A and B are shown apart, each in its own frame.
Chain A
Amino acid sequence: MRVLGISGSLRQGSHNTNLLRAAAQLLPSGAELELFEGLGEIPPFNEDLEDGPAPEPVQRLRDAVAAADAILIATPEYNSSLPGQLKNALDWVSRPVATNPARNKPVAVVGASTSLFGAVWAQAEARKVMAAMGARVLDRELPIAQAGEETFADSRLTDDDIHSELGSIVAELVAEAETSLAAVA
Chain B
Amino acid sequence: MRQFYPHLRTVVRFVYAYLQLADYSPIHTQKEPEMSATTTTQAVPVGTWEIDKVHSTIGFAVKHMVVSTFRGQFNDYDVELTSTDDGARLAGKVRVASVDVKDENLEGHLQAPDFFDAERHPELSFESSDLRVEGDQLVLDGELTIRGVTKPIEARGSITGPHTDIQDNQRLGLELETVLDRTEYGLEWNAPLPKGGFALANDVKLIVNLEFSEKA
Chain A residues proximal to chain B, CB less than 8 Å: 96-99, 103-104, 131-137, 179-180, 183-184
Within 8 A of A (CB), among B90-119: 104-105, 107-109, 111-114, 117, 119
Residues of A close to B113: CB separation below 8 A = 104, 131, 134-137
A residues in contact with B120, CB < 8 Å: 179-180, 183
Contact partner, A97, options B105, B117, B119, Cβ 8 Å: B105
Q: Contact partner of A98 among B108, B114, B117, B119, CB < 8 A? A: B108
Cβ-neighbour of B105 out of A98, A104, A180, A184 (below 8 A): A98
B residues touching A (Cβ–Cβ < 8 Å)? 104-105, 107-109, 111-114, 117, 119-120, 189
Give the nearest-CB partner of B111 in chain A.
A134
Note all chain A residues with C-beta closer than 8 A to B108: 97-99, 103, 134
Whether B119 contacts A131 by the Cβ 8 Å rule is: no
- 20 cross-chain CB contacts under 8 A: A96-B104, A96-B105, A97-B105, A98-B104, A98-B107, A99-B108, A103-B108, A104-B113, A104-B119, A131-B114, A134-B108, A134-B109, A134-B111, A134-B112, A134-B114, A136-B113, A136-B119, A180-B119, A180-B120, A184-B119
Count A/B pairs, Cβ under 8 Å. 40
Not counting A131-B114, A183-B120, a sample of 20 additional A-B residue pairs whose C-beta atoms are within 8 angstroms of each other reads A96-B104, A97-B108, A98-B104, A98-B107, A98-B108, A99-B108, A103-B108, A103-B112, A104-B113, A104-B119, A134-B111, A134-B113, A135-B112, A136-B117, A136-B119, A179-B120, A180-B119, A180-B120, A183-B119, A184-B119
> Smallest distance from the beta carbon of B96 to chain A beta carbons, Å?
12
Q: Which residues of B have CB within 8 Å of A98?
A: 104-105, 107-108
Closest to A180 in B: B119
Q: How far is the CA of A134 from the CA of B111 in the complex (A)?
A: 8
Tell me how far the C-beta of B77 lies from the nearest C-beta in chain A, rounded to whole angstroms. Answer: 21
A104 to B112, CA, bound (A): 6
Q: Tell me the bound Cα distance from A87 to B201 in angstroms.
A: 28
A170 to B207, CA, bound (A): 42
Contacts of B109 in A (CB 8 A): 97, 132, 134
CB-CB < 8 A to B104: which residues of A? 96, 98
Alpha-carbon gap, A135 to B113, bound state (A): 7
Chain B residue at minimal CB-CB distance from A102: B112
- Closest-CB distance, A139 to chain B (whole angstroms): 10
Q: Quick one: which of A131, A135, A184 contacts B189, CB cutoff 8 A?
A: A131
Closest Cβ–Cβ distance, residue B119 to chain A (whole Å): 4
Cα distance, A134 to B114, chains bound together (Å):
7
Inside 8 A of A134's CB, which chain B residues have their CB?
A: 108-109, 111-114
- Distance (whole angstroms) from the CB of B103 to the closest CB of chain A: 9
Chain B residues lying within 8 Å of A135, measured Cβ to Cβ, are 112-113
Residues of B within 8 A of A184 (CB): 119
User: Nearest residue in B to A100 (C-beta to C-beta)?
Assistant: B108
Q: Write the chain B residue with the least CB distance to A97.
A: B105
Complex Cα distance A98/B97, Å? 12
